Chains A and B, each alone.
Chain A
Amino acid sequence: MESSTDEKDAKPDDGDPPSTTASNWPLIKRLLTLSWAYRAGCLKILILQVVVLVLGLGALGLSGVGIDYLRHEITPGAPDPVWPLGLAPPGNWSSLAVLLTIGGSIVVLALVSGILNYAYHVAVADLVNVKIVAGLRSRVYDKLQRLSFKFFDSNASGSLINRAARDVRATGQFIDSVIITGIIMMLSLGIYLTYMISIHPLLTVACLATTPLLWGISIRFSRRVRPAYLHNRGLVDDLVLALSESVKGIPVIKSFAREAEAERRFRDANRKVLDQRYWIFGRISRLNPTVQFITQINLTILLLYGGVLVIRGELALGSGLVVFAGLLQQFSAQVANISSIANSMQESLTAAERVFEVFDLPIEIASPVAPTQLSEVEGSVEFDNVSFAYEPPNCVLQNVTFRANPGECIAILGATGAGKTSVLSLIARFYDPVLGGVFVDGHDVKELDLAQLRRNIGVVFQENFLFSNTVAANIAFGHPEAAQEQIERAARTASAHDFIMEMRDGYDTVLSEAGSDLSGGQRQRIAIARAILTEPRILLMDDPTAAIDPETEGEILGAMQSAMQGRTTFVVANRISTLRRADRILVFDHGHIVQQGRHEELIEEAGAYQIMAKAQMIDAESLDILEGAADT
């Protein structure tokens, strides 16, 4: 009768540490509301499970009857078997026929319950995987995509990915592993109890006396060990961090000969995981034997008390004692379920909190309810006394005012952190200013339709993310239905056509992850093509040559130049070569415009621009030599 399902080990848990210890009630209420939408599916599952359960008990009962029948046949004086539903076999049947009928009934019951069991499994999978999880996942993804940059600035990408991947699964678990399993537990305990009481009430009470103990131990265990598992997860994270940093930083480690330190750090982290797991193992390996032993105490009571009852003829051997033994085991198995329900509950609450957090985030940057429609964008851009902070009160832009006329090229120069990128972000309304307003064609960008605004603005980032898709799809990213010729035109303007044609499948070449098989210059040219595909009136370029070496820079400069043609362009630039072509240069320092004008004007003005420019220019001495060399 001893089961060996216990011969497995707890695997380290996958949950995340609960972020709050505050009352979970509002969260549970919200999950219940969510579940209510799936009540029909849940009900179907519950009914199926109850029928399967009853059929199982039927089979158990029948085998008990079989035993009683045998005993009655061979032992004179043994009590008559109690036939289920009073369906006694006709007296003229041979013993073998009766046995065969009983055996056959068990098999038929098992068959029916098998089919229903299959239906149950499929119903659960359909409810959880298809309906709940897939739905939640798409919702989280959709919402994530609409959140402001601010959100992505302050959240690690790994955590965001996990919300849509793992947390959603764990949230769905609330319905199957908490609600459904919980109700099934209650129902089946009720059914077992009823059955047992119908056999012998007093015996039932005696045998189940230890149940509260079992319940208590299970809950206490999960309360104590679960935090330990969470703690362990943290320790494993440390271990992974020690590993990944050592690998990423291997050039640093080798060049400073720090292998020994790296090794020590890893060993320490490894040791901590081991020690803490040993502690957990000690707890786990005490729980299982204890729980099983309690079940065996129940069985002992059954043997003692039930045995005496059988001897006194007050209890049938088969449909009484043997069936009771079977029921007891199933009963304890269900009771022990309480701890796994508690775990799932904890897990799904933590996950649900993270999922709901995403749902609840306000979309900070959204189109106004009644946006001003622009029939055609001219391309004038105006900053009126704009102040901006990523994290107030640390302003990165302070009282910035300027105006760009349609078709003008404005270059922006300044040290890191001077606010250059912020200027571009505000024009495309990736963020909103704290004070003042940004105007396109005289309209505050907050009053414009967001998608329309961005369609009229082409953006080239400093490091441009390309997707693992074809070159054509990457260029047509903002406009998937673009015609091939349109794509090619954009690529030509961005001087990307030639190298694309040299690639394996031309425009249909699939780029590897993040475009890592292209050179920096090639990536940037594809990005430029992508930005101008829809012929935007305004072009924003955030120092596209920053990560490119000067030899390749020339190629991009040409592309940038032709892309700017006829557009209002804002370009963050550091190289004189770009700056001197601009209609106007804005020099930023600590969030203020400190100088502005054309290259020819600024180079004469004592200030930051002059110092920076001179460092990049050829000195007179070198020029003399060059000219002298050219003359000879």
Chain B
Amino acid sequence: MSASSPALTQTDRGQYARDRGTVYRPLQFSILKRLITYMRPHRRTRRRLTIAVVLRAVQIPALAWLLGVVIDGPITGGNVRGTVTGAFAYIALAALTQLTLHFRQRLALELGEAVVHDLRNELFVHLMRMPIAFFDRMRLGRIISRVISDVEVVRTGVQNVLFVTMVGVGQMLVAALIMLAYDPPLFLVVASMAPVLWGIHVFFRKSFSLATRRVQESMSRVTSTLAESVSGIRVTQGFSRQDVNTGLFRRLVHDHSGYNMDQQRIHGVFLPLLQFNTQWITACILVIGGYRVLSPASEMTVGQLIQFLFLAGVFFHPVQSLGNQYTHAITAMAGAERIFHLLDTAPEWTDTPGAVEIASMDGRVQVCGLGFEYRPGEPVLHDINLTAEAGQTIAIVGPTGSGKSTLVKLIAKLYLPTAGKILVDGRDIRDIDSHSLHRNMGIIQQENFLFTGTVMDNIRLGRSDATDDEVAKALEHLGCMDLVEALPNGLHTEVGEGGGSLSLGQRQIICFARAMLADPRMFILDEATSSVDSMTELRLQEALARLLRGRTSFVIAHRLSTIRNADLVAVLVEGRIVERGSHTELLEQNHVYANLYRKFAMDSETVA
């Protein structure tokens, strides 16, 4: 009956569709230049590709020209042998052209994929270097957009835009030159249509991309509503809301198809207009060219007129695809811009250059004058001083929002303090290599992430070379082997995405075992047992006591037993430690802690 946690990747994608709405912006050459540097490692491919592109730009008009020549010469001239020779020349040239096309396509595809592959790796490595704080702000959906969708757009950009544009422009140029050589005035007539076509393109591209954006936006509303409905299905059914929802959804779908129609209407004007243009040009060539053929002053032949018809086709064909390329280029550019922006986001902090790797630690932790603010001017911790001797358990107690979690996260070096410092074994943790620090430290949170794989795989995350026996031993040591054995396939049960097929208690046990296996000197527990039902919690508490034995630990907890057994209880209120001492001492002080305790006691009873 518990509502499933919303896995809203779809909605995130929807939002991505919204934030990619930057359709209308000029090309930025700095981004293009940077993108081109990614081709450098593949320069051999690039060089071969350039050759293929140039060849193709010449071959396409040459083929049309040859066809014209054969018709103009041998066929109209009645020369059978010439016709045969011409046909063979044509097929030979055609074979060559297709061979070039093969390489042109394959190399471009491979180059684009290679660039994108490198980009993805770079992005991932960059992400892994980011401190945790970065992931608090950047949502998963966005990250996936960057690494998957944006990169995909760039791929199409590299594979298509650049080289298709080069071929297209090249073939137009060569066709223009041939036409110019045959009949300059007629060519001018043909060429004068180019700006008209271009104008139509610019006009429609604008309104079309606007319409497309509306379609995307309305679609993302549809998907996010869907996602919400699926996530909230239990609530919907529990409240018999199905009919109301269906009505709302129908309206959204209706809107969406309306926008779709708008888009298609624009498309429906645009495409016929382009075709009309082709016919218009044909008619022009026929009338003007025909007039010139008939007039005695000109030397133009019927064959040349046919030649012109063919060449005009070659000349105008790329116009349409070039227009599309521009849109692709803009989209790719926007994708690349977002990717580069992410790559350029420097980690807020990294280890200091001289950071030392520590092999092991005793576990003495001193917190000196610690202060922290997430946003400048809004401190959440003030002047915290605290010492944990090796092996001690420190309980941190306080109301919601008092800064408990922030304090332990700072001790774990997931964030860096804005004031004061934290010493481990007398050394500032800023000067300790983060990896080596974390290897000696176990962190368990309220909800811990499990990776796809078996229970065994997840526990082994604590130490990758652990044997099956060692994993089992860790569980036995925690006294929780029976809980795992109760699973359908015991240790080899698949945990499902995010641990979805396990209960919270089972998930926590796995995390404990994982930490046990890593055998760190120090532990940080952020409300590790609070979201578990009370029967399971008793088991977890026992396991926890075994886990913490002999290790320095900082524990945020609000269950009494944990606090009672701590060596030191620190009471945090509004970012300050207001009380400290053992459980008994604090009760005797009869102040904040005692009051918290009393509040609890009002709701429960005493054990006689």
Contact = CB atoms under 8 A, between A and B. Distances in A.
B43 interface: no
Contacts of B282: 59, 63, 106
Contact of A161 (B156, B227, B250, B451): B227
B461 A625 contact: no
Nearest to A455: B240
Given A70-B294, A461-B235, A248 B241 contact: no
Contacts of A95: 290-291, 294
B121 A270 contact: yes
Given A67-B305, A244-B140, A245-B451, A161 B2 contact: no
Interface string B491-529: 000000110000111100000001000100000000100
A468 interface: yes
A30 B219 CA distance: 27
Interface residues of B, number: 199
A120 B269 CA distance: 11
A118 B268 contact: yes
Interface string A445-474: 000001100110101011111011000000
Interface residues of A, number: 192
A546 B239 CA distance: 22
Contact of A241 (B7, B313, B452): B452
A598 interface: no
A303 B302 contact: no
A67 B604 contact: no
A554 to B, nearest CB: 7
Contacts of A303: 67, 70-71, 75, 83, 86-87, 90
A145 B229 contact: yes
Contacts of B135: 247, 250
B237 interface: yes
Nearest to A578: B603
Contact of B246 (A134, A138, A247, A273): A138
A100 interface: yes
A311 interface: yes
B325 to A, nearest CB: 9
Contacts of A113: 272, 275-276
Interface stretch (A83-91, A335-343, A424-432): A424-432
Contacts of B435: 257, 259
Interface stretch (B97-105, B192-200, B334-342, B473-481): B97-105
Given A141-B249, A530-B239, A160 B230 contact: yes
A50 B497 CA distance: 52
B532 to A, nearest CB: 7
A388 B74 CA distance: 89
Contacts of B233: 144-145, 149, 152
A321 interface: yes
B109 A626 contact: no
Interface in A264-311: 266-267, 270-271, 273-274, 277-278, 281-282, 284-286, 288-290, 292-293, 296-297, 299-300, 303-304, 307-308, 310-311
Interface in B30-71: 59-61, 63-64, 67, 70-71
Contacts of A621: 584
Given A73-B294, A247-B143, A157 B1 contact: no
Contacts of A1: 63-64, 67, 310, 313-314
Contact of A243 (B124, B156, B244, B604): B124
A133 interface: yes
B159 interface: yes
Given A240-B144, A243-B148, A554-B599, A513 B438 contact: no
B238 A459 contact: yes
B545 interface: no
A110 B164 CA distance: 29
A496 to B, nearest CB: 16
B254 interface: yes
Interface in B1-47: 1-11
B91 A615 contact: no
B236 A145 contact: yes
A504 interface: no
Q: Specify which of A100, A252, A286, A577 lies most central, judged by the most chain B CB atoms within 10 Å of its CB.
A: A252
Given A134-B256, A289-B99, A59 B67 contact: no
B232 A465 contact: yes
B105 A575 contact: no
Nearest to A135: B253
Dominant secondary structure at the B interface: helix
A344 B167 CA distance: 30
A162 B7 CA distance: 13
A615 B601 contact: no
Contacts of A110: 275-276, 279-280, 283
A389 B290 CA distance: 86
A68 to B, nearest CB: 9
Interface in B415-461: 434-436, 438-439, 441-443, 445, 448-452, 461
A114 B227 contact: no
Contacts of B276: 110-111, 113-114
A144 to B, nearest CB: 7
A154 to B, nearest CB: 11
A620 B601 CA distance: 12
A281 B287 contact: no
Nearest to A109: B279
Contacts of A376: none
Contact of B60 (A2, A277, A289, A622): A2
A310 B70 CA distance: 12
Contacts of B249: 138, 141-142
Contacts of A611: 538
Contacts of A317: 71, 75-76, 302, 306
B78 to A, nearest CB: 5
| Listed residue (B152, B302, B587) with the most chain A CB atoms within 10 angstroms of its CB | B302
Contact of A157 (B4, B124, B309, B535): B4
A71 interface: yes
A157 B224 CA distance: 12
Contact of B604 (A6, A66, A457, A576): A576
B382 interface: no
Contacts of A433: none
A514 B168 contact: no
A369 interface: no
Given A250-B135, A430-B238, A467-B232, A255 B438 contact: yes
Given A256-B461, A465-B3, A477-B239, A251 B414 contact: yes
Interface stretch (A20-28, A34-42, A121-129): A121-129
Q: Which 4 A-B pairs have the closest CB atoms?
A: A478-B239, A121-B268, A125-B264, A577-B603
14 contacts: A4-B167, A59-B282, A99-B291, A125-B264, A129-B257, A129-B264, A141-B249, A239-B148, A270-B124, A274-B113, A285-B106, A413-B535, A576-B603, A626-B587
Given A304-B83, A625-B584, 11 more contacts: A243-B144, A284-B106, A285-B109, A300-B91, A307-B87, A461-B238, A464-B235, A478-B240, A513-B6, A514-B228, A551-B399
